[in-house]
Structure 1
Amino acid sequence: MSHVAVIALTYRRPAGLKKLLDSLARQRAGAEPFKLTAIIIDNDAAGSGEAVARSYPARDDFAVHYQIEQTQGIPYARNAGLDAVPADCEFLCFIDDDEFAPDDWLANLLATQRATGAECVHGAVIPVYPDNAPQWLVRSKVFDSWNYPDRAPLKAAASNNVMISTAFVRRSGLRFEERMRMTGGTDYLYFKQAVRQGLTIVWSAGAPVYEDIPRSRMTLRWLAQRQYRLGNTFTVSERIDGTRLGLLRWAAIGVARVGLGIVLLPAFLFSPRYAMRSVVHLLRGLGILAGASGHSHQEYAPASLAKDRTQAANSANGAG
């Protein structure tokens, strides 16, 4: 029987954590049986996720491991998750605490791995919108994730829906970059380094997860800040683990994306999708250029996190 660890970081999202753990507890075996250990790393020193995580009794095929990572910052929590993986686990997964998985998620990840022999399997993240979501924003598809043919080879991955061989993780010795403590993007850098060390990644079309999109994120301001941060982390990563030539290449990409964003600005008059493409190109390009010049955007600083959680809670409760 395969043993798989599923790592989820959480920070003051007990309702989301419960929805995630409910979905993990319902995972069904496919062609091969498996045991699942959910590793919950709470980055809130107050332990806001503890009551939820400890409410799941251990079963032969499912258990929850909970621990607090006192040092705030996504890479510290991810590294704590790596350290908590049981020695007998063949694979480890990452998933977010605002996501939930269909009952056959893990079985399909395993089936894709067995069919391809890849050391890493990646899947889609499908947005789930509230009833009051602005339809122009839904139609823009700005929250839609990557999508590839089944078993397509990839050169990149993210930590929102991924399974990795623990043998590779231990052999490579790779860790999430703690110098990027509050910037985000450490998963981008991790998988970039992993591919350089020979990690093989394939797509699993049958293993999506679902992400709840709160109303508080459905604003141009939030989307602009997120796209700026995403672009910024590309060049922050290149400054940490890259070359001068690579940084120049990214700067050229930044200039091109800003130019394309400006060209697409008139799309705001007739096409939500192309209007948001304008925002994506323009703000990612600006973030890339800022990172190339030495600026690191601190999206996950404690004050920013607290504000985001408060806005999300107010939105869920119907507040303005």
Structure 2
Amino acid sequence: MTAVVAMLTYRRPEDLRVAVPAFLAATSRDGAGLLVVDNDPAGSARAWVEGLRDPRVRYVHEPRPGIAAGRNRALDECADADVLVFVDDDERPEPGWWEALTACHRATGATGVVGAVVSEFVAEPEPWVRAGRFFERRRLRTGTDVDVAATNNLLLDVAAVRRLGVRFDERFGLSGGSDTLFTRDLVRRGGRLVWCDEAVVVDRVPPDRTTPGWVLRRARRSGNSASRAELVLAADAAERARVRARYLARGGLRVAGGGVRVVLGALRRDPVLRLVGRRNAARGRGMVAGALGHVVVEYGRPPEQGDPAGAALPVGAGQDRAAPERTRR
């Protein structure tokens, strides 16, 4: 089996200097290659990556802005590989990650294998962060079929992906959600995604993410991406109308339910319950906005960063990091 680990990056040199050696060590037994896709128009990661002079590491520059463009570049660069594994440049693999991920693929023959992501705080956060469980992700039994996944720990069977004709939609490149659309489309076309709970990577959470503002912005964008992805996948006008109505209803219910929690939190003087309610309401508002055709931009880049003319979108929740679906999240 020929395998490539693809790591997208955008102006995160300190993370890259730790992540690259960590993933090279984790995959050393099988000799998997590591592809660094630099989404910075200035190509700021080139000197350091090429300076490694490691035959297993390859650098490519994708100047088109947006994480979807970077992901598609990785698919194109790894067309001759058997498997492609997407990871983020601020993650670290746990012992046994690679062995578990590839073993699950061999055992199931699935189009994609989804690994677990566990958050680790760079600095001890305020108590409300842990109490509200805002950074906890789902964990499932190994072998469970799933219909959607992020690309922060995802193995793909390259031949199967090419056969199904799935690509990352670059309209979602600066808004986020291209991985949601990609994996939903993959399953819709007959692909299979399987969970592997033993394949764990650790996501390091910096202090600037552990704020109520970040939690609320992420919730709104996630809701927006979910409804927009479903609209793109709708087969015809009638199905789009049904999707739009469903998300208007679901989003409205979330806004109402979140409002109830906010009131209860105020009455009980419970700031965590209030924030949970506000987060639920924010996700609902994002769903409604997406159903109505509005885009919540999370990764807009200011034009002065050097993106091609007309490519930058208004700055939303933060800067496009082009490696995970998040800001310096």
Q: Same fold (TM over 0.5)?
A: yes
Q: Greater shift after overlay, 131-140 or 186-195?
A: 131-140
Match of 2:300, as an amino acid? A
Q: Structure 1 residue aligned with 2:265, among 255, 267, 289?
A: 267
Change (3 A) 1:86 1:239: closer
Match of 1:267, as an amino acid? G
Structure 2 CA distance, aligned partners of 1:194 and 1:300? 24
Aligned to 1:90: 82
Aligned to 1:206: 198
Q: Spell out, residue by residue over 1:17-41, the C-alpha distance to the aligned partner (whole angstroms, 9 max, x if none).
A: 1221111111157xxx523111111
Aligned to 1:314: none
Match of 1:286, as an amino acid? R
Aligned to 1:47: 43
Gap regions ≥5 residues in structure 2: 235-239, 303-314, 322-329
Q: Spell out, residue by residue over 1:79-98, the C-alpha distance to the aligned partner (whole angstroms, 9 max, x if none).
A: 111111151x2111111112
Q: Spell out, residue by residue over 1:216-259, the C-alpha distance to the aligned partner (whole angstroms, 9 max, x if none).
A: 11111111111101111112223333222112112111111111
Q: Spell out, residue by residue over 1:262-303, the C-alpha distance to the aligned partner (whole angstroms, 9 max, x if none).
A: 122123646666444323311100000011112101111113
Q: Measure how far apart 1:104 and its partner are.
A: 2.1
Instruction: Give the 3-state SS of the residue equivalent to 1:26 in structure 2.
Output: helix
Instruction: Give the 3-state SS of the residue equivalent to 2:75 in structure 1.
Output: helix
Aligned to 2:295: 296
Gap regions ≥5 residues in structure 1: 311-320
Q: Is 1:28–1:103's contact at 8 Å kept on the other side of the alignment?
A: no
Q: Is 1:234–1:288's contact at 8 Å kept on the other side of the alignment?
A: yes
Aligned to 1:70: 63
Aligned to 1:36: 32
Aligned to 1:22: 21
Identity of aligned residues (%): 32
Structure 2 CA distance, aligned partners of 1:123 and 1:98? 16
Q: How does 1:1-320 map to 2 (within 5 A)?
A: 2-28=1-27, 34-59=30-55, 63-87=56-80, 89-242=81-234, 243-265=240-262, 266-267=264-265, 269=268, 274-303=273-302, 304=315, 308=319
Structure 1 CA distance, aligned partners of 2:19 and 2:166? 27
Match of 2:289, as an amino acid? A
Change (3 A) 1:90 1:212: same
Q: Measure how far apart 1:306 and its partner are.
A: 11
Q: Measure how far apart 1:192 and its partner are.
A: 0.7
Q: Is 2:299–2:319's contact at 8 Å kept on the other side of the alignment?
A: no
Match of 2:260, as an amino acid? V
Q: Is 2:300–2:316's contact at 8 Å kept on the other side of the alignment?
A: yes
Q: Is 1:26–1:103's contact at 8 Å kept on the other side of the alignment?
A: no
Instruction: Give the 3-state SS of the residue equivalent to 1:143 in structure 2.
Output: coil
Q: Is 1:254–1:289's contact at 8 Å kept on the other side of the alignment?
A: yes
Match of 1:246, as an amino acid? V
Match of 1:68, as an amino acid? H
Q: Measure how far apart 1:309 and its partner are.
A: 8.7
Change (3 A) 1:55 1:144: farther
Match of 1:174, as an amino acid? V
Q: Measure how far apart 1:206 and its partner are.
A: 0.6
Instruction: Give the 3-state SS of the residue equivalent to 2:198 in structure 1.
Output: coil
Instruction: Give the 3-state SS of the residue equivalent to 2:143 in structure 1.
Output: coil
| TM-score of the superposed pair, with normalisation by structure 2 | 0.86
Structure 2 CA distance, aligned partners of 1:110 and 1:16? 25
Give the length in aligned residue pairs.
302
Q: Spell out, residue by residue over 1:39-90, the C-alpha distance to the aligned partner (whole angstroms, 9 max, x if none).
A: 111110112222332243335xxx1111111111111111111111151x21
Q: Measure how far apart 1:130 and its partner are.
A: 2.3
| TM-score of the superposed pair, with normalisation by structure 1 | 0.88
Structure 1 CA distance, aligned partners of 2:66 and 2:154? 20
